[in-house]
Amino acid sequence: MSRTEAVLTVCVALTPERLRSVREEQWRADLRDGPSLGISQSSLLVGALCSSTIARFHELVHRGNQVLSHFTRGKNMKLALSMFGVAVVVIGGTAVGINAAKPKTDYAAVAESKTIMGYEGWWNSTPADGSGKDLPQETVAVNTTTGQIVDAFNRAKNAAHQVTSISDVHFDVVPDPTWPAKSVVIIDTATGKVIDSFTVDEKGRPILPRP
């Protein structure tokens, strides 16, 4: 297995199952066409690694919040303990997988110069029962520093295993001075309301809260 295939395999494994086929197809197309546009495969792999890792992190946080909600109500201690065990196994397996597939290229150094596009969270997740009727049907992610849409999600297109491009969503952004600075806000296009937000660095990478 080549280094590229090894890293791509790790990226796919990290990606939530509902997005794997779409993301893998997109990444392979990028790796095929990127070099002709002056984008190196190394930088594309870095983006894929970052995107898949962030997606898995948000999925674990979302599931953890759900479990914690049940736990604090005293409903399901066994479920909480089992989910904790799964999280430990996933994180441990991820670390082993990345180390095993890690190419000699210094991807960390390349990552520092790249902007991350695309975010994952509860707003574009699919519940275990497959029903997303109580979740936003379409969202946009807006960088509060630039006021620009940097990501979009449409649940119908996702259900059809299609990637949502920013141009697919017709939404006029009206910057709000109350938005948090140096952040990305997630807006439900049906209501125009901010439903989530998180701090990002100058490259658009989420800044995870310190323990």
Tell me, what's the pLDDT at 169?
A: 93
d(CA 210, CA 127): 27
Tell me, what's the pLDDT at 208?
A: 76
Tell me, what's the pLDDT at 112?
A: 47
Bridge partners of 185, per DSSP, are 142, 197
66 vs 201, higher pLDDT: 201
Render pLDDT for 86-139 as a digit per residue (tens, 0 to 9): 444 445 555 545 454 444 444 444 444 445 557 888 898 887 777 778 899 999
Q: Which of 201, 196, 151 is nearest to 171 (CA)?
A: 151
Can you give the residue ranges of every domain in the chain? 3-111, 122-199
Cβ-proximal residues to 173 (8 Å cutoff; 6+ apart), any chain: 140, 142, 147, 148, 149, 187
Tell me, what's the pLDDT at 188?
A: 97
Q: Which of 92, 200, 190 is nearest to 146 (CA)?
A: 200
The answer to whether 122 touches 62, Cβ cutoff 8 Å, is: yes
Location of structure tokens 């299609």: 162
Render pLDDT for 46-99 as a digit per residue (tens, 0 to 9): 877 777 787 767 766 666 665 555 545 544 555 544 554 544 444 555 554 545
